[in-house]
Amino acid sequence: MSRLHPPLPAKLLIGLFSRHFRLFQSIFERMKDLFGPIDLISPWFEFNWTQYYEAEMGSGLWRRMAAFGPLISQNQLPDIKLQTNAIETGFTDGQNRRVNIDPGYLLPERFVLATGKNYTHRIYLDKNIYADLTLIYQKGGFQTLPWTYPDYAQKNIQAFLTRVRNKYLRDLKSDGYL
């Protein structure tokens, strides 16, 4: 029989991409109001791994990611996804989004994104939201999976996630979890 242990709190990460640079600051400010102060913010990453979003959002997309200071309960992810969906909706231009917002969380062993789309490798959470196991952390680094989005397979994004993971591990230790 397995012994039950409460899950660790997670490090909230939210990525967004858009071609409208001016939106990033106001969206990050809105997210700080909802989720607390930002610990780390990524450099700009060119988002040119897919043309999937171009019809809706145009070309020349850029991604940034923010890691938030307060740790979250893992079961908060569906509510956070619904909140970020509402922010996206607030920045639509007619029927088209001007920004895509992807919340997720980091644990010592994995990086998980929230999505509203079911697929074979996604696990239902609650409120029509699924968990996408995007990366696993093994052998001293992040490892991709067959379904990992191409941008998260890039070394520059994984380097940022490693910085976040290191900060998260320090937070866990200082809060007495490790």
Q: What is the domain partition of the chain in residue ranges?
A: 10-174
pTM over 0.85, yes/no: yes
pLDDT along the chain (178 residues), means of 10: 93 95 92 96 84 83 94 97 96 88 98 97 97 97 95 94 98 92
What confidence score (pLDDT) does residue 47 get?
A: 79
Cβ contact 172:178 at 8 Å? yes
